[in-house]
């Protein structure tokens, strides 16, 4: 198995917490972070981290390990960046 999945299992977070952590990381790295709920379907929305973007599911529901890993990959980040 992939090493990153082992680290992802440590973090149980919902969409809102994921956005909060990315905003904190953005402030630390001086990178623009925006969340737009408009372009997504239903409760979905787009999260921009610098020039990269990903789609966030329902912000109230918990993110699975695979989904979290995929979103971090789309944003060119690792799980260690969030800790």
Write out pLDDT tens, residues 32-59. 999 998 755 678 889 999 999 999 988 8
> What's the whole-model pTM score?
0.81
Give the pLDDT score at 44. Answer: 86
Burial class of residue 1 in the structure, from the number of CB atoms within 10 Å of its CB (0-12 exposed, 13-18 middle, 19+ buried): exposed
For CA atoms 77, 15, 24, 1, give the dihedral sign: negative
């Amino acid at each position: 198995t992939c090493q990153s999945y082992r680290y992802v299992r440590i973090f149980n977070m919902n969409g809102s917490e994921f956005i909060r952590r990315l905003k904190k990381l953005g402030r630390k790295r001086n990178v623009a972070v925006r969340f737009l709920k408009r372009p997504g379907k239903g409760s979905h929305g787009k999260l921009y981290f610098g020039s990269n973007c990903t789609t966030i599911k329902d912000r109230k529901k918990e993110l699975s390990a695979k989904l979290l890993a995929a979103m971090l990959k789309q944003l060119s980040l690792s799980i260690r960046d969030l800790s």
